[in-house]
Amino acid sequence: MVDMTVSPLETRYRTEMNAIFDEEARLQSWLEVEVALAKTHAKLGSIPKEAVNEIEKGAGKVKLARVLQIEEEIHHDLMAMVKALTEQCPKYGGYVHFGATSYDIEDTATALTLKRAIGLIRERLQETSAILRKLALEKKNLACIGRTHGQHAVPTTYGMKFALYYQEAKRNLQRLEWAGRRIAVGKMSGAVGTMATFGGRGEKVQELVMKELDLEPVAVANQVVQRDRHAEVLFVLALIASGMEKIAKEIRNLQRNEIGEVSEPFGKKQVGSSTMPQKRNPHKCERVCSLARLVRSNVQVAMENIALEHERDLTNSANERFIFPQSFIITDYMLSQMTGILNGLEFFPKNIERNLQLTGGAVMAERVMIALAERGMGRQEAHELMRTAAQEAFAKNGKLLDVLLGRREILKFLKRGELEALFDPHTYVGLAPKIVEKAVE
């Protein structure tokens, strides 16, 4: 049978995250909250204790197909679940959803869903972080040319690159934890947040329901949990996605034929182009960069959802059916892809060394300038001298060392052997290995 699915989230980009956001999982989260509400009412003596057993068993019998069938008739998804659950409770069905409004159930269930989704993202990001840490330590001494503004600057090491990415991933893990705490809240406070339907027991009802679900009760709500919490979560996902894009973009640039220092994995039977057999396109990294744009775009929608009218309107509801699963599934997919890319990342040492030497030693101008200043030449004078010497070497397509050896003002401060030693790029990476070790300890 041909798959007629429209969204690539169900096919190409599908991950374990899909199971957290699918319709069945959504229904089960709603039922979980309804059962917690019934248990709380029974504890407080608001409903018969026997009702809890029937409602809990009934929740296990509710079928998604039946809920969707009822929704077709009444055009209200949450109430369709309530009716389907009530059908399974012939004796105590009248106590289902007792005192609650739709978003007491929906928003509390959303907190459960996002809490679980954040847990999976945390695991993925930890896996990626571990590989970044490993690469940082393995490559801490591998000297390469550093680039600023797309131009050769001074030497650095590949370990520095990966340590940089590792530290960012570590910060995003912290952000994820903080956002996770703020989203793990629920409400059981009625139509506009006053708890009027629960009489004087509203605070206790909310407290006990959330304790049952391992969530925190909100301090105050209107009809919904406020959307700044949800926007924060999506913003953290966007930061994670952007961090993965940063790595992917660097790999893409370093894989260019003219540079050729690293490459994403390329299978023996992999095809790079339908017409150019030689191509080794960095398509996995390009895919990561493409998807990051989508995750970032959802943050704007989440921000728009913050300013709902009065005690709430429904303008957040429809788009959240897209932005929550989409952002989490795509971020999960990106992390999984990046883990595979980094695990199989290829390095080409000859090209790395070639590029270190590509400018004929011009990238060592800073080092010579500092050495001249240390020997007594004025810093600004040394800078101007090295600037003109570098321009001369560039114009002649020659080596900077040869130009300097022909200038007496240089040899007054530095002997030939000393000058030659300054042009070894492998000895001009500063504290890079130590910085890497400290960054990933």
Point out the residues that are catalytic. 149, 273
SS3 152: strand
Residue 182 CA neighbour count, 13 Å, CB half: 16
Give CA separation, 237 vs 69, 122, 182, 293, 435, in Å.
35, 11, 14, 12, 28
Which helix (H) or strand (E) covers residue 183, if one does? Answer: helix 158-183
What stretches of 75-101 show up as alpha helix (H) in DSSP?
77-87
The distance from CA 342 to its chain's CA centroid, rounded to whole angstroms, is: 16
Tell me how far apart the alpha carbons of residues 160 and 431 are, in angstroms, rounded to a whole number. Answer: 10
What stretches of 258-415 show up as alpha helix (H) in DSSP?
283-304, 317-343, 349-356, 365-374, 379-396, 400-405, 408-411
φ, ψ (nearest 5 deg) of residue 363: -70, -5
Nearest to 328 by CA among 1, 6, 7, 16: 16
Buried b (16+ CB within 10 A) or exposed e, 252-284: bbbbeeebebbbbebeeeeeeeeeeeeeebbbb
Which helix (H) or strand (E) covers residue 246, if one does? Answer: helix 228-254
φ, ψ (nearest 5 deg) of residue 92: -120, 20
Q: Give the total residue count for the chain.
A: 441
Contacts of 394 (CB under 8 A, 6+ apart): 362
Tokens of 216: 């925190």
Q: Are 375 and 385 in contact (CB under 8 A)?
A: no
Which helix (H) or strand (E) covers residue 119, if one does? Answer: helix 102-138
